Structure 1
Amino acid sequence: MNNKKVAFYTLGCKLNFSETSTIARSFKDEGFKKVEFEEKADIYVINTCSVTDNADKRFKTIVKQAQRVNENAFVIAVGCYAQLKPEELAAVDGVDLVLGATEKFKITDYLNDLSKNDMGEIHSCEIEDADFYVGSYSFGDRTRAFLKVQDGCDYKCTYCTIPLARGISRSDKLENVLQNAAEISAKGIKEIVLTGVNIGDYGKGEFGNKKHKHTFLDLVKSLDEVEGIERLRISSIEPNLLKNETIDFVAASQTFVPHFHIPLQSGSNSILKAMRRRYMRELYVNRVEQIKNVMPHACIGVDIIVGFPGETNEHFLETYNFLNELDISYLHVFTYSERDNTPAAEMADAVPVKVRKKRSKILRGLSVKKRRAFYENQIGNTATVLFEGENKKGFIQGFTENYVKVKTPWDPALVNTLHEIKLQKIDNDGLVRLEFLHESEAVAI
């Protein structure tokens, strides 16, 4: 009987979290015991991200953290950074094994010898070989699961390394997605978040070819019929792939929630062209208006990159004013950083790092303002809250269907339950206080 312990650390996106869970289950199948990353383990697996410089730097910190707990532990790096720069990771002190995009799902095949190495051993494919699909979902958090439906990307945005790290766009078969959703439901999880690299492209590569056997709308309609799932949430979807039919279906659905996260990246058309995005800002306005027409209380999140090469003060002001006037709810702001092997890294007119950071700070301030205005607009409304599992300074937190973060005094009976509430007021920490609409707080719907 294997009595070895394994711990996991995930950097980056929801997709990485779903894949870490799948990798963790493969260890469990081999008899390993999963422990928290802070605990002593025989093996530490770090799922890396390469979207920003910061993610690269954090990797080294996390390796040191593992070594402090057990200096003899076997440290494995997987994920996007491991595919893009395996030699760089293998050279980090303490790293024993680096697995690329296809190898990470066969991780237990590489564990015959757990003795420490002077230099990390690399098993990494050519990214062209990453043409098969591995389904994943996470259920570490009892209240929601990230369900992977798609991987890879065929877009050629000039700043992005994801196609280099994850390969071509490919999708899970519809029956597999539905089976995974049913498994998640059977575990008592109330909410599924759909995730992938470019989920609006769902259906491409579903049968090893480029034809779409099913569309994203087919996927959404089929998932809507899975029994036992209270909520389905679309994560990030490209504006050009978010169709009116999908928006209208979500509006009418009892399960899909009125929350969209739609990357914009810039409010300037000339910068969007330089980024090789597949839309102009006018289309983005159209998407937001369409959502708000059929779902006035919908929450809309936006990804923005500041400091892209050639972004002048005028371009930035254009973006700021565009966002300020748009009926959106919050921003995810990314400070542009040069990535190897991307066209943007070779572009002229680099924006000074100091200016990038200043612009980033300005947009983060705008995000706070936008979120506050959105919350204020919801006060007095009734909503349904799914409560999370953590005691945070004597309070339990949760999200409404339209992503308003609420809090109420801690009560363990509320964990992973849904309740009808009325939104009362915004507290000092920016979260919303609530009033239960039913007499007993512990009676779930």
Structure 2
Amino acid sequence: MSRIRAAFHTLGCKTNHYETDALRQQFASAGFTIVSFDEHAEVYLINTCTVTGEAGRKSRQMLRRARRVNPGAILVALGCHSELEKDLPDVDVIIGTGGKQGALAQVCDLLLVRGCCFPGPHPVDRVADADVVYEEYGSVFQQSDTRAYVKVEDGCNNFCSYCVIPLARGRVRSRDAKAALNEVEALAAAGYREIVLTGIHICSYGADRGEPCWTIMELAGQMAAVDGIERIRLGSLEPRSITDEFVDLARKNPCLLPHFHLSLQSGSDTILKRMHRRYTTEEYRDVAEKLRAAFPDPGLTTDVIVGFPGETEKEHQESLEFCREIGFSRLHVFRYSKREGTLAATFSGQVDKKTMLLRSQEMIELSDALALAYHQRQVGKQQKVLLEKPGPDGLFTGYSPEYVPVRMANNSNLLAGQIVSVTGVRATNDFLFCQ
């Protein structure tokens, strides 16, 4: 008897990808055959995103696509979009951001109703209070052969005026530190040498716990002591959380890589205030200076939103100039997306699409120039690069400690997952070419 096939697709953030990997692992352990999303399957699971209107549209598009591939399949929508949008036609199972581990039990129930058989005992849905406590997935072995993501937290308490994620993900819930360390130990034993700490707002780690609890940097320090772990990266960081203590612990951590993604969103103080970001450009500048004093030329990346409601040309130019002044190694540029349920959706002065597109192009051009300048500073320097895999042109790809994308010639001695010493010889805005 052939096994039942299950296919997965993920939209959105690294946290979503981590959770999909956990579910894929659970379904495989239950006896399902895991196939690619483009293949014919009896079960399709789509982990959705709603951070922008476009993300929501793509989520619905992937649901329709799966239904077309196999009209009789069990279709499961999970995640942020399905948390906020319950009206999803032709979807058999809708699960929000809590209780995702119940997907396996619900799918098996439907298979039984349809007269299908599957190997192994019927799973029990043990998910309870997933919206108020951290939903533990155990040790998750992922699709990447090189770095592993370790989810340490879920939810956000900030409620920025433009952001729908706190409505979709709920309040901060921190993972038990012992469970996180157990996962890191299991990943190290499996051969992973680099881990990335991820979550919705990792700087809030421990804030929800009444008892004494490690901060995110104290947790990272414990992970650095795990035998086999050589590199630790941090996910997106809140500028207000970069205190002197944070920087001191970061500097002392032998495994922490000098790349910091400091979420900015705007370089205009008036826009930051309307966004409810709770810091000023002066405070942000101080944080960047602290990190540069502790690490030689670290990689500083950020997110920037253009076209926020009421944004004037003057405010847009202020944002451009501030990003230029900070000298980021790369910008992630987003056009403002109106999300129902957020405060910003009620603001007057919604920026038209044409203006938003022009401002986006200007910010992307600045990002390219900043990336080129940063990559050029790496030419002639020796880098320790984690190799990923050869590209279609035969060149190996990888990332430097500062998260600079690296390309280098392949040879028979190189393998994915190796950490090799290389020297930068040529730079573009996309890559640092090394040998």
Q: Which runs of 5+ in 1 are unaligned?
A: 117-126, 436-445
Find the aligned partners of 1:242 and 1:165 in 2 and give their Cα distance: 26
Match of 1:181 in 2: 184
Going from structure 1 to structure 2, the CA distance change for 1:199 and 1:212 (only over 3 Å counts) comes to: farther
Q: Distance in 1 between matches of 2:361 and 2:5?
A: 42
Unaligned 5+ segments in structure 2 are: 115-127
Measure how far apart 1:67 and its partner are: 3.6
Which residue in the other structure is 1:50 paired with? 50
Counterpart-to-counterpart distance in 2, 1:66 and 1:106: 21
Counterpart for residue 152 of structure 1:
155
**Normalised TM-score (structure 2):** 0.91
Asked if 1:79 is matched to 2:79, the reply is yes
Would you say the 8 A contact 2:266–2:319 is kept in 1? Answer: yes
The CA deviation string for residues 260-285 of structure 1, in whole angstroms up to 9 with x for no partner, is 00101111111111111121111110
1:71-150 alignment, distance < 5 Å? 71-87=71-87, 90-91=88-89, 94-111=90-107, 112-114=109-111, 130-136=131-137, 137=140, 139-150=142-153
Match of 2:399 in 1: 399
Once the two structures are TM-superposed, the CA of residue 253 in structure 1 deviates from its matched residue by 2.7
Instruction: In structure 2, give the amino acid aligned to 1:191.
Output: E
Match of 2:336 in 1: 336
How big is each residue's C-alpha offset from its partner over 1:158-202, in whole Å with a ceiling of 9 and x where there is no partner?
111111111111101111111111111111112111111110111
Does 2:313 correspond to 1:288?
no
Contact 1:266 1:319 in 2 (8 A): yes
Q: Give the aligned partner of residue 194 of structure 1.
A: 197
CA distances 1:201-246 after superposition (whole Å, capped 9, x unpaired) = 111224xx5x652222321221121111121001101000122222
Contact 2:59–2:81 (8 Å) recurs in 1: no
Q: Is the 8 A contact 2:224 2:230 kept in 1?
A: no
Give me the whole-angstrom Cα distance separating, in 2, the residues matched to 1:350 and 1:95: 33
| Contact 1:43/1:75 (<8 A) preserved | yes
Distance 1:419 1:165 in 2: 41
Tell me how far apart the structure 2 counterparts of residues 139 and 190 of structure 1 sit (CA, whole Å): 13
Q: Which amino acid aligns with 1:196?
A: G
Amino acid corresponding to residue 266 of structure 1 in structure 2: S
- Which shifted more, 363-372 or 30-39? 30-39
Tell me how far 1:430 sits from its aligned partner: 3.5
Residues in 2 aligned to 1:400 and 1:217: alpha-carbon distance in whole angstroms: 21
Matched position secondary structure for 1:86: coil
Do the aligned partners of 1:150 and 1:170 also contact (CA within 8 Å) in 2?
yes
User: Does the CA-based 8 Å contact 2:371-2:430 persist in structure 1?
Assistant: no
Which residue of 1 is the match for residue 327 of structure 2? 327
Distance 1:293 1:306 in 2: 30
Q: 2:243 matched to 1:247?
A: no
Cα RMSD of the aligned pairs, angstroms, is: 2.0
SS at match of 1:289: helix
Residue 421 of structure 2 corresponds to 420
**2:123 aligns to what?**
none
What secondary structure does 2:161 align onto?
A: coil
* 1:254-309 C-alpha deviation (Å, 9 max, x unpaired): 21100000101111111111111121111110111111112122100011111111
Q: Distance in 2 between matches of 1:34 and 1:242?
A: 41
Question: 5 Å matches for 1:329-368?
Answer: 329-368=329-368
Code of the aligned partner of 2:377:
N
**Which of the residues 164, 168, 173 maps onto 1:165?**
168
Q: Is this contact kept in 1: 2:48–2:79, CA < 8 A?
A: yes
SS in 1 for 2:264: strand
Aligned residues: 417
Which whole-Å CA distance do the structure 1 matches of 2:272 and 2:129 have between them? Answer: 27
Q: Deviations over 1:384-419 (max 9, x none)?
A: 010013433221100111112111233474211110
